A and B are shown apart, each in its own frame.
Chain A
Amino acid sequence: MTVETTVDPGETPEPTIPEVDVEQQDFSVLVFMSQQGVFVFTALLLVFAAIFVDGFASLDNITDVFNRAAPIGIVAVGMTFVVISANYLDLSVVAQVATSAVLLIAISNSTNMLVGMLLGLLVAIGYGVVNGVAVGVFKANAVIVTLSTTFIGLGLLRWQSGGSIYFGDPDGVIATFGKTEVGPFPLAMVVLIVVTLAMHFVLTNTTFGFLVKSFGSNREATRLTGVSTPLVVIGAFTVSALGALLGGWLLAAFSNTAVSSMSDGFDFEALAAIIVGGTSVFGGKGSVLRTLLGVVFVSALTNIMVLSGYGFGYQQMAIGALIVLAVSVDALARKAGTS
């Protein structure tokens, strides 16, 4: 048995590899920003606006902010379920909100408001199931699926409505609802808060909400505990669709009109609110209460820009930049948290 001949020890080069720790940077600031930043920034923004922006702190303006925040807020609260389930986002809320608003006003005018609401509900369930089946059963990419169902939905709506604007009865229930205020709060804001609290309960206290979080955290581990994961995904997209349904109704009530283009940009504004609120696009973590705070931030920011004379183009740029910033912080914080 010949054993390996050992080499002359003098020849052996000394180990020259220094220990390099790559992950030595301190990420705690980023982690803090991604999780608690929204509280700080919202407070700072509101204080700043109250002091420096003319007209921000007036009662009329605050009511206006609430009125505009309510529809987008309910959409964002619903969509939070999709984001927590690690399916990125539901772009089809754009089509869903417009469809819900047009159905409500057009059918109220022609037939009966309740029929319009019922039809809207069926359409919302349809969206939830179609998006959910494509993503949950066929494992298609949620961004592409919901981008496509937006196309289908808006196409259908424009074909059926011919792109026309529907005006509601100025003395009807819808218009009245849109004008009602409880103190400084429009009724829409009350609806937003009630719905948010209900959704918070669903997310934190029910097995459904628990499974959405669990699926978002680790879909394979969740499947391997015997969960029917397609149902979880369908459920998350259906909650998002119900949020969009309510959002559409509130939007219709606020303006007492409906048109297929009225919800342009709702997808990204809702997403901005969700991730600024601190819900992670990687799934598994998040809260609808945070989303509500994100909505306050985004709406206040938009309002400040309007009051300061920055038009729609600037607002779009700000929302876009906000999303890039927030998802980058989210990704860095996640990396810091796992390393």
Chain B
Amino acid sequence: MSEDLTTERDVPRTGSPIIEAHGIRKRFGGVYAVNDVSLSVQPGEIHALVGENGAGKSTLMRVLAGILRPDEGSVLVDGQQLEAGSAQSALEAGVSLVHQELSLIPEMTVAENINLGFTPTRAGFTNGREQRRIAAEALAEINVSVDLDEPIARLSMALRQFVEIARAVARNPRVLILDEPTATLTPAETTYLLDMLQRLAERGLAIIYISHRIPEIFRICNRVTILRDGQHVGTVDIDDIQPNELVSKMVGRDLEKDLQSHREPTKPGEVVLSATGIHAPGVNGIDLEVRAGEIVGLGGLVGAGRTELVRAMIGADTRSSGDVTVTVGGSVRRITSYRSAIAAGVAYIPEERRTDGLALTMTVSDNIALPNRQHLSQNGVLLFGKIAEFAKRLADETGLRPPQIKRAAGDFSGGNQQKIVLSKWLGREPDLIILDEPTRGVDVGAKVEIHRLVRELADNGAAVLVVSSDLPELLELSDVIHVVRDGLIVGTLARADADEQAVMSLASGETSGSAA
């Protein structure tokens, strides 16, 4: 397939670039999301931007589109410096961004959405004819035919994506930035979109293409810029790099070193969690087992369906079909609702601790007491002495700093907030604990302590399921890793076979099938 596309790749690179970024730095809190990254794209070039989750791709793209103001560095279009952090100035210079999360208004029509924000008017009223003309022209340019008067809500995800692109094209951009446009598309729709981008590039547009899908990048892109932990690893011609080489540059750590800190796996006991045929939005039929004393990792890219899977399994969100049981000491409990899961001894540490994990205005002690209130009350009356003692013990166990259980949970740092969330559930001595991104946004010290706690749980016989996009973490903790892509388990890696490259390859679809 890629052979006949070589002509498109050989873009003359003698001309001056349309868009250039120099030494972009952007810091969130104390951490650089993007640290000294430079980039330039020629007319007619499709330039890939790749990196792991959290590598800084989206931040860089938002800086280019003027949505974020960089702490340092500048963006130039045709040699003219853009006003930093002004989306207006970027748009006027011809930089159009196609968002990852669709930004269309579902109730409005195709024509209205394409003109959104730039609706043509006559004497203060919407000029419907002009609006339709602009929309029809933009759709014709990308070769998509769709009824202009159809509300967006009635279109498929693919058509919505195309309308979103038409909306960007209608601004007559010189630079088009796309953030994972194929994430929700089928293979046939993906092919259509990739062909569309190539046609646009042939007309002299500069395209910056962000994707986790390695094959797509090799199919349409001319050059690729690799980011890792906010750093610019390099920019290379696509002809000068192999797919596996690209993946290892994205992952880029000393792979051997990460394999050393494994715990001695305990002999796995009975199957605690057994899930079969799980279907839910984003989950397309998954079977999963976790045994007592075992740490099972779920790897994959953001949006692959891992969070949806665990939430559907334990009933935190509704599932459309599938059967889940939790077995402890031979007694089998079917999980039909979230509360039945909690009653069966499940603990769930959600991905978003600030919105789903903690009541931030309440004290540490209150937060810890919440799931344990039955043991800490008598006839519905709270036993404050017992609560204080209980919370103190757990805060000590998890190493909360400062160890002040009367302070509001919102006053603590990310890592310590996560320790509070863990404390809530450790007190229940769960038989199955599910952790979704347990150390996201957590400092290194707290991360080490959280990992220690997770291992201790498994050593003491709990079944542990960890969702993590942090590859070293996943490899360090897991006894076995299932890789999820598009709502399916696409591969299972035993500890001995698992390395970052193997997980990333499966996650991005660069290889498929089970390596176990």
Chain A positions near chain B (C-beta within 8 angstroms): 1-7, 12-13, 15-17, 205-208, 210-211, 213-214, 217-218, 220-228, 284-285, 338
Contact = CB atoms under 8 A, between A and B. Distances in A.
B382 A1 contact: no
A218 B359 contact: yes
A1 B342 CA distance: 55
A17 B84 contact: yes
B474 interface: no
Given A12-B74, A228-B339, A220 B234 contact: no
B342 A226 contact: yes
Nearest to A15: B72
B360 A15 contact: no
Q: Which of B20, B22, B73 has the most CB of A within 10 A?
A: B22
11 contacts: A3-B234, A4-B234, A13-B22, A15-B71, A17-B85, A205-B381, A207-B381, A221-B357, A221-B359, A226-B339, A226-B343
Contacts, number: 108
A210 B373 contact: yes
Contact of B342 (A3, A16, A207, A225): A225
Q: Which of A208, A223, A226 has the most CB of B within 10 A?
A: A226
Given A206-B381, A214-B362, A7 B20 contact: yes
A280 B70 CA distance: 37
B186 interface: no
Contacts of A226: 338-339, 341-343, 371
Interface in B341-389: 341-343, 348, 350, 355-362, 366, 369-371, 373, 377, 380-382, 384
Interface of B: 20, 22-23, 38-40, 69-74, 81, 84-85, 225, 234-237, 240-241, 316, 338-339, 341-343, 348, 350, 355-362, 366, 369-371, 373, 377, 380-382, 384, 410, 424
A6 B38 contact: yes
B71 A17 contact: yes
Nearest to A218: B359
Nearest to B40: A4
Contacts of B348: 224
A217 B359 contact: yes
A205 B386 CA distance: 13
A221 B22 contact: no
Given A5-B40, A15-B72, 8 more contacts: A2-B236, A6-B38, A13-B22, A17-B72, A207-B381, A221-B355, A222-B359, A226-B343
Contacts of B69: 17
Given A1-B236, A4-B234, A207 B358 contact: no
A213 B382 CA distance: 14
Contact of B382 (A205, A224, A228): A205
A7 B356 contact: no
Given A1-B237, A207-B382, A217 B362 contact: yes
Contacts of A206: 377, 380-382
Given A6-B38, A7-B20, A218 B358 contact: yes
Contacts of A16: 84
A1 B359 contact: no
Nearest to A11: B22
A228 B340 CA distance: 11
Given A210-B369, A284-B361, A224 B235 contact: no
Contact of A3 (B84, B235, B355): B235
B74 A15 contact: yes
Contact of A220 (B39, B84, B355, B362): B355
A236 to B, nearest CB: 15
A7 B360 contact: no
Q: Which of A3, A5, A224 has the most CB of B within 10 A?
A: A224
B373 A207 contact: yes
Given A15-B73, A284-B361, A225 B381 contact: no
A214 B366 CA distance: 8
A221 B38 CA distance: 41
A223 B338 contact: yes
Contacts of B235: 3-4
A1 B84 CA distance: 32
Contacts of A227: 370
A224 B360 contact: no
A206 B380 CA distance: 5
Nearest to A283: B361
A224 B341 CA distance: 11
B431 to A, nearest CB: 14
